[in-house]
Structure 1
Amino acid sequence: MPAYSFLDFTGTLAGPFGSLDLSAQSAAAAEEGIEIDMTEDKSSMIIGAGGAGQHNLHGTRAGRVTIHLLKVSPVNAKLLQLYKLQTTNTAVYHGRNTLTLGNVASGDFYTCLRGAFVKLPKNSYSKSGPALDWMLDFIVIDPNLGVNGLDQPLI
């Protein structure tokens, strides 16, 4: 039976002013890890007064990626530097990040294109150190799930 481990996860954020390794071994990710969430529904349905209906397919592939890092992760300082630099000039730097994520054991891979930082993460100082949640919006998220996803017939 297949097994899952976050230790098999790899990730790289690349954009203006540099790239960052977000792999499990280097990023000090919080327990929540990294989340990928599509922004909009891919389909909607309309039902008419007489009961007939239609499905509408939407062309969106946009989504949000949230990177949960431990407060003590050195990647926080690097993300902050990228955030500051990329939010200085919208014409040149904003919305030009590429994020690649993958898990070699499960065969899951994501390519996220034309991304921008949403805002600075919420930060607090308390008894237990927080996780910092870095959010980036991407215009295109292209997913591939599973090791057999591409080489097996659909039916």
Structure 2
Amino acid sequence: MGTYSFQNVSASINGPGGVFSIGYGSDTADEGISVAFVEDKSTMTIGSDGGGMHSLHAGKAGTITVRLLKTSPVNKQLTDLYRFQTSSPANHGQNLIRVVDTVRGDVVIAQQCAFRKMSDNNWAKVGNVLEWVFDCISIDEKLG
């Protein structure tokens, strides 16, 4: 299929203190949702004689960034969730984030996710985009 639309992207966060949608219909900004891994999966080492070796790394850690319009009601939900989860270590780092493109078949499941920090914010002539960054211990991504 050669067509993509954010309309087909559903995303949710599930953790101590709340479960709600963060995908299409959440007043997501043009920049949307992004997934980034924190380390390479492999390291190549070349010896002095020209021979080589690959080292496969087990890590699956990464970040998920959700960008919302200033006026999105999801900002309040995320603020409340952030306050609850950072009030006690018992609630921290337990989010499950799921992103699915229902037409293309893309699926991202991120586990043991924690808020990196409260979203930066400003008040100006033009409303801004709030970025919520989550540090995730394990991300499994399958592109359809």
Shorter-chain TM-score bucket reads over 0.9
Trace 1:60-139 onto structure 2 (pairs within 5 A).
60-90=59-89, 92-139=90-137
Q: Once the 2 structures are TM-superposed, how far is the Cα of residue 18 of structure 1 from its aligned partner?
A: 1.1
* Equivalent position SS for 1:24: coil
* TM-align CA RMSD: 1.0
CA distance in structure 1 between the aligned counterparts of 2:55 and 2:120, rounded to whole angstroms = 37
Q: Once the 2 structures are TM-superposed, how far is the Cα of residue 23 of structure 1 from its aligned partner?
A: 2.7
CA distance in structure 1 between the aligned counterparts of 2:129 and 2:78, rounded to whole angstroms = 14
Letter in 1 for 2:129: A
CA distance in structure 1 between the aligned counterparts of 2:5 and 2:129, rounded to whole angstroms = 20
Q: Once the 2 structures are TM-superposed, how far is the Cα of residue 88 of structure 1 from its aligned partner?
A: 1.3
Between the two proteins, the alignment pairs up a number of residues equal to 144
Instruction: Quote the sequence identity (%).
Output: 40
* Equivalent position SS for 2:111: strand
CA distance in structure 2 between the aligned counterparts of 1:94 and 1:115, rounded to whole angstroms = 8
Long gaps (5+) in structure 2? none
TM-score (norm 2): 0.96
Q: Deviations over 1:10-54 (max 9, x none)?
A: 0110000111111302x1000000001111110011112222221
Q: Once the 2 structures are TM-superposed, how far is the Cα of residue 127 of structure 1 from its aligned partner?
A: 2.0
